[in-house]
Amino acid sequence: MLRIDLPMSLKKNVMVPVFSLCVLSLALIGSSAVTAQDEDDSGNDYSNDDSGGLSFKFGGKVQSDLRFQVVDKEVGEFYNKLKVPLGIRRNENILNFNGQASMGRVAAVFDLDFVLYGHPDSLQEMGDLSLKQKLDPYRFEAHAAYLEVDDFLFEGLDLRVGQQLVLWGVGDQFNPTNTINANDLEDVLLFGDEQANVMARLDYALPTGLDIPGIAEQWSISGVLVPVFKPALLPRSAALGLAQVDRMPLMEAPLRYRMLVEEEVAKSRFRYPTVVNVVKPSLPGTDFDNMQAAVRLAGTLLGQDMALSYYYGRSDRPQAMENYTVQTNRVECPAGMASKCTDNPDDPGCAGCIKGVLSTDVKLQYPRMEVIGFNMAGEIPLDWIDPEIYPIGYRLELGVYLPRRAEMRIMQDEISLGGLKQPQGEYDYETGRRPTVIDSTPFLKWSLGIDYSLGTHVMLNTIWVHGLVDEFGAGDFFHQGWTVQKAYTQGDEDEMFTCMVADRMGLSKCNYSKYAVEILRPRLADYLVFGMDFKFLDGRALLRFFSIWDLTGVYEDRWDAGGRVRKHYGMFTNKGFSAVIYPEFNYNFGDGFDLGLGALLQLGKDYTKFGDPAAGGSFVWTRARYRY
């Protein structure tokens, strides 16, 4: 870290160029996604310098990441297959530059990454070989770009304006009350990261005269206004979820059963499988109605840090709100099948071919929500047992989510399969109401963690997490609600077809429930997180072990003996087991240079939480880093 302090006698001579530099820096990085914080990952302190003179602080890092995919993941059939292949998963180099210019009560802070992807972009034609940006692609990321003023209008009132992070949560990486900034899930190794956004923040420290020594101290009120909504940044493997059309997000089970049977009949009997064509996120507008706001009251009560917050805005994870399906005729066959099948797909030897697809475009939107948050953190002293025993630290973070009900609109072009026709227009739900994607039932998400130091070398951390960042909606041991992890049909194909035709013609009601099989999970699951850090060799070497265990498992729901039955497979069963195992070794050579290596192992069946192909699978990684 380089710091330059200028005496007050020189500040007039440098005022113009210094503020020009600040404005130029903010202009260059103001349009990018950011991660602003009072202290960055290098330990750089961005608190204001109160000496009265003009001062600069500069720092940064150079980092190289190399990752190897060791387990491939794929979904879909030959006509819509998506895959995360074995090989190089990431080859990325980062140059970071961060700093602060401050004078008296005012400071300008920035934190900028220049990222080289380390592999060529997709090449479409010969001319791409002449384009440097194709062969050596890069991007800029701004992790901070804001101005802050202490004692803005009066003593105790602080203002911060610009792209920034507002992290009110106290949990370790699992923060259900950090709802102001959108999640940054692009890099799974940086789990818990969030994206900064342009916002205005006011903090008012209540007068010390209101403190009650030893009982209630250091209370403050904060308010945040976010003009423009920013969505979560998703991992690259999230695209694998597109091929899994059996995972219907609808809450109404009878409608799911009927649509599942219809899709299976279209696929197996008429050879028109359903595929996802385009998924289009629809961002909220930039009008006043879509602005987000939050307030918080925080302080210390009986030696414990506490905070109560309220957020009004939207979920940063999109939900499917509209489908539009079109019948597309195209003969396609698996690799290696005789070429004659393309011209004559009805030949008995061409049963593996398809005659076309039911191509579906999906529209995603971001549901509205309100969140009431409560945080509490502190230590439980154990010196009453023995003065040498360290205290136990704890962190409680609770979010009460108040979602707004969201429905799905299902539309289709005219579809004709073997004489059966579905007219153009909206799907017949048979209930007179569109199906529910998110209902308005309030739900809770929380993390409760404890940490304990065994001397100066070992740190232990255990967390109970109820609801991960990608889980949304009521569904746990308080209120029933499910997500479909996998679905398929059972029973005779001709029987299903006959049942469906009779239902369509109004001859008899079809019991679609009889044929549908679903693998379900509660919308909000429970997880046990365990971590251990072991430092040795004078603190230069770090051995870290981190794991997440899915405590919930899965449920198999099917028709059996005249009704639907549901069987639970817990975490200790082959079907229900799912976990993340993360070992890491890092060595600090001194002078800012360190090397690290590790692995991220995501275990479980493809329909489990961490075995899901959309989670990306397992990989090993290496990292070299120099901080300055």
**Per-domain boundaries in the chain:** 237-283+319-367+404-439+482-522
Encode burial over 37-50: b for 16+ CB neighbours within 10 A, e otherwise. Answer: beebebebebebbe
- Distance between start and end Cα atoms, the chain: 6
Q: In angstroms, rounded to a whole number, what is the distance separating the alpha carbons of residues 46 and 108?
A: 9
Cβ contact 505:499 at 8 Å: no
Q: Is 17 exposed, middle or buried (0-12, 13-18, 19+ CB in 10 A)?
A: exposed
Tokens of 576: 């229900």
CA distances from 73 to 76, 82, 151, 166, 611 (A): 11, 8, 54, 36, 9
**Residue position matching structure tokens 């003023």:** 149
Mean pLDDT of 94-122: 91
Confidence of residue 46 (pLDDT cuts 50, 70, 90): low
Residue 369 has pLDDT above 70, yes or no: yes
Question: Does the structure show a pLDDT above 90 at 477?
Answer: yes
Contact present, 239 and 362 (Cβ < 8 Å): no
**456 confidence band (pLDDT: 50, 70, 90):** confident
pLDDT, mean of residues 452-477? 94
Instruction: Please give the Cα distance from 31 to 35 (Å, whole number).
Output: 13
8 A C-beta contact, residue 17 and residue 179: no
> With contact defined as beta carbons under 8 Å apart, do 376 and 393 qualify?
no
Nearest to 486 by CA among 247, 239, 242: 247
pLDDT one-digit tens code per residue, 602-618:
999 999 999 999 999 99
**Quick one: pLDDT at residue 48?**
55
3-state secondary structure of 104: coil
Q: What is the pLDDT of residue 598?
A: 97
Mean pLDDT on 332-361: 86
Burial of 302 (0-12, 13-18, 19+ CB in 10 A): exposed
pLDDT at 136: 86
